[in-house]
């Protein structure tokens, strides 16, 4: 796999994290670098780390994870989308309650990086330079997620109070899309 192919793989792997970042940006009251950086870093970190696990553990668990990865991502994204929707309706009067609950970004980062685990198995088979692949995946995911957070915030400002609901619906749609893409 050459550098251009690895670039395409990196961008492809980052797309669900980018979509989630866009959703998070929609529901953010303000999107400063100090708030966006940890979110984008978390997505980039897990996207870069999962191929390492796939590379190392692929021979033991690869076929199992490949069979259920779409279900894991589906359940996590739909649950988080549902929680986001619930909070947007249940906590109208308490604006500070709309901040992310602890662990939400961690769960989203894991849910969107499960496919990178499976790609790590492929990297082991193809004898890909793992350090180069992990670096490229992490940097590209981080950069695109950071941009998506700012874009989502800009769009969210235009959508005002409906932005968090839209973000929740989009998380549910993303989870369903991942499931249906793998099943059919």
- pTM for the whole structure: 0.73
* pLDDT in the model for residue 95: 42
Over residues 10-34, mean pLDDT = 85
Exposure string of 32-56, with b = 16+ CB inside 10 Å and e = fewer, is eeebbeebbbbbbbbbbbbbbbbbe
Q: What is the DSSP string of 57-118?
A: HHHHHHHHHHHHHHHHHHHHHHHHHHHHHHHHHHTTT-GGGGSPPTTHHHHHHHHHHHHHHH
DSSP summary character for residue 127: T
CA 41 distance to own-chain centroid? 11
- pLDDT higher than 80, residue 52: yes
pLDDT in tens, 104-160: 899 889 988 888 887 887 787 677 899 999 999 999 999 999 999 999 888 876 665
- pLDDT higher than 50, residue 84: yes
- pLDDT higher than 50, residue 70: yes
* pLDDT in the model for residue 91: 54
The residue ranges of every structural domain in the chain are 3-183
| Banded model confidence at residue 96, pLDDT cuts 50, 70, 90 | very low
Best-predicted range by mean pLDDT among 48-52, 55-59, 90-94, 108-112?
48-52
| Banded model confidence at residue 102, pLDDT cuts 50, 70, 90 | low
Over residues 67-93, mean pLDDT = 72
């Amino acid at each position: 796999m050459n550098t251009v192919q690895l670039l395409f793989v990196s961008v492809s792997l980052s797309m669900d994290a980018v979509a989630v970042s866009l959703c998070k940006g929609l529901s953010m009251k303000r999107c400063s670098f100090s708030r966006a950086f940890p979110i984008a870093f978390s997505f980039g970190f897990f996207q870069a780390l999962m191929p390492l696990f796939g590379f190392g553990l692929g021979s033991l668990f690869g076929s199992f994870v490949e069979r259920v990865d779409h279900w894991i991502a589906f359940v996590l994204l739909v649950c988080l989308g549902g929680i986001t929707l619930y909070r947007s309706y249940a906590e109208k009067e308490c604006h500070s309650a709309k901040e992310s609950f602890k662990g939400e970004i961690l769960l989203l980062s894991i849910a969107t990086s499960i496919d990178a685990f499976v790609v790590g198995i492929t990297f082991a088979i193809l004898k890909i330079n793992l350090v180069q692949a992990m670096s490229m995946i992490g940097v590209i995911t981080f950069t695109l997620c950071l941009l998506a957070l700012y874009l989502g915030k800009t769009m969210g400002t235009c959508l005002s109070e409906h932005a968090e609901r839209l973000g929740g619906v989009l998380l549910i749609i993303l989870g369903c899309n991942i499931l249906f893409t793998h099943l059919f």
